[in-house]
Chain A
Amino acid sequence: MKLLHIFSIYSLLFSVIMLFSCTSESADLGIDPGTGNTGTGGSFARFIAAGDFLYIVDNKKIKTLSTAVAAEPTVIHEQEVGEGIESLFRLGEKLFIGSSSGLYLYAIGADGIPVQQGQFPYDNLFPIYPCDPVVANDQYAYVTLNTTVKVEQCNRTAVVDVNSLNIFDVSDIQQPYLVAQYDMNNPQGVGLDGNLLFLCENEGGLKVFDVSNPSNIQLIEHLQGIAVHDVIPLNGLLLVVGKDNVYEVDYTDLNNIRIISQIPIGA
């Protein structure tokens, strides 16, 4: 009985310590995209403002700036990530970095500084360096890879083609692995809202998938006749950008996903 008491006191103490350490371990990054004090970007974003921090990536590095005084950002940290960094995505305290050399996963520490947890290098997967925006939830990361290059060898031209949607299991961010791969037609930006994945195919238009089952995703809508390269899902309203215009798509009713507006030309 006594032993049990001691045990429970210890476990209580332990939980209290854990609680404290948990709160002190999480940087205050603010909450909802778009509606909070910081805005939200598309899947090609290289800048992310979160709480009192600004994260920016260049070709090789991620830099952390303090924005405690918003008008006076200061660099507090920078680190090498990999080659050909293309995009940065944040999910709570996780950062996903898309690059031509691989997918890199980071956790943001109490001091706001990202620490690398895991990576998935592409060298074994593809013969060339593709471009790749990324979005994610707690379980899966969705990466589009798109490259078509002509390789000149002697007097012959070979076309190497990597155009796919790749789904990685990232539930253990230290050990991401590839779950499924789907061929796409020049895939560009992606957006995620619950089980809905929005995927831009440039001239090929906008595809909406149900991704409840990553091994068997279902195309539920394909809006054609628009050239689009990136999206921001805003809880039923999708902002879509193409070379020539910005479109807004209402997806509150999945049976009636439709474009509700675009910017008037010349306005």
Chain B
Amino acid sequence: MKNFLLCFLLLTALASCAPFDQKDEAKPQEIEGLRPIYLTKEAAQKVESLPPQAIKSLGKIYYKAPYIYVNESNLGVHVINNSDPANPLKFKFLSIPGCRDIAIKGNILYADNAGDLIAVDISDLDNPIVTKRLPGLQGYLNQNYPELYEGYFECPEEGKGVVIGWEEATLTDPQCWR
């Protein structure tokens, strides 16, 4: 009961503070948080081979001789030639927006691509060809908020495109938080 009263008092105090705080800060409030990375649906579906790219934030790893495939923060997959494990070399970058997971059978790479599942023929790594797209099959990427995150974030806006990831940013008066 004592605790309950304390909580109540605290809440009342907080509630009465809130409008005062807002009035006090005439300038927009700047704070560190996350903001959505948008892509148009068309851009999100574009799969292409690029020259080796810089590593930003690596995710999952997959191996099929002689290559190591490493996911890059929702952007695609680094393809590393591992013919000599003492000298691995970045060979190509497969740009697959919104990708986190892959698996390979023969020359076909399966990947999630901004909510869809795609099959990509990688016989020629310079010229990957999407052979099948299953729309919405792997709707794993949350379009509403960043998962496993606590803090402020810029509210996603419909019409801006597909949210393929989140990036750290200085936000001005963010309206969303978790």
Residues of A at the B interface (CB closer than 8 Å) are 33-35, 37-42, 44-49, 54, 56, 58-59, 63, 65, 67, 70-73, 75, 154-155, 230-232, 234, 237, 239, 241-246, 248, 260-267
- Chain A residue nearest to B6 (CB atoms) is A154
CB distance from B166 to the nearest CB of A (A): 16
- Chain A residue nearest to B55 (CB atoms) is A244
**Interface contact tally, CB-CB below 8 A:** 143
B63 within 8 A of A: yes
Residue in contact with A44 in the complex, picked from B60, B134, B138, CB distance below 8 Å: B60
Best-buried of B7, B100, B102, B108 by chain A (most CB within 10 Å): B108
Q: Is the CB of A246 within 8 A of B70?
A: yes
Determine the distance from Cα of A241 to Cα of B71 in the docked complex, in whole angstroms.
10
A71-B132, A73-B134, A260-B86 known; A38 and B80 CB under 8 Å?
no
CB distance from A259 to the nearest CB of B (A): 10
Residue in contact with A242 in the complex, picked from B58, B60, B87, CB distance below 8 Å: B58
Cross-chain pairs A/B with CB under 8 angstroms, 29 sampled? A35-B65, A37-B106, A38-B104, A38-B105, A39-B64, A39-B69, A39-B103, A40-B62, A44-B60, A45-B101, A45-B103, A46-B101, A48-B103, A56-B117, A56-B138, A70-B106, A71-B119, A72-B119, A232-B61, A232-B62, A241-B58, A244-B58, A248-B86, A260-B86, A261-B86, A262-B88, A264-B89, A265-B55, A267-B89
When distances are taken between beta carbons in the complex, the residues of chain A under 8 Å from B96 are: none
Interface residues on B, range: 35 or more
Against A, the Cβ 8 Å flags (1 = close, 0 = not) of B60-86 are 111111001110000000001010011
When distances are taken between beta carbons in the complex, the residues of chain A under 8 Å from B100 are: 46
Residue in contact with B60 in the complex, picked from A65, A70, A241, CB distance below 8 Å: A241
B16 within 8 A of A: no
CB distance from B21 to the nearest CB of A (A): 18
Residues of B at the A interface (CB closer than 8 Å) are 3, 6-7, 10, 52, 54-55, 57-65, 68-70, 80, 82, 85-90, 100-108, 110, 112, 117, 119, 121, 131-132, 134, 137-140
When distances are taken between beta carbons in the complex, the residues of chain A under 8 Å from B132 are: 71-73
Q: Is the CB of B58 within 8 A of A243?
A: yes
Interface of B is mostly: strand
- Chain A residue nearest to B142 (CB atoms) is A59
Q: Is the CB of A266 within 8 A of B65?
A: no
Interface of A is mostly: loop
A49-B104, A70-B108 known; A246 and B88 CB under 8 Å?
yes
A73-B117, A267-B90 known; A261 and B103 CB under 8 Å?
no
Residue in contact with A47 in the complex, picked from B57, B61, B63, B103, CB distance below 8 Å: B103
Q: Is the CB of B60 within 8 A of A39?
A: no
With A65-B117, A67-B108 given, name 20 new contacts (CB 8 A): A37-B105, A38-B64, A41-B60, A41-B61, A46-B101, A46-B140, A54-B105, A56-B101, A59-B140, A67-B110, A71-B132, A72-B119, A72-B131, A73-B110, A155-B7, A232-B61, A244-B55, A248-B82, A260-B85, A261-B86
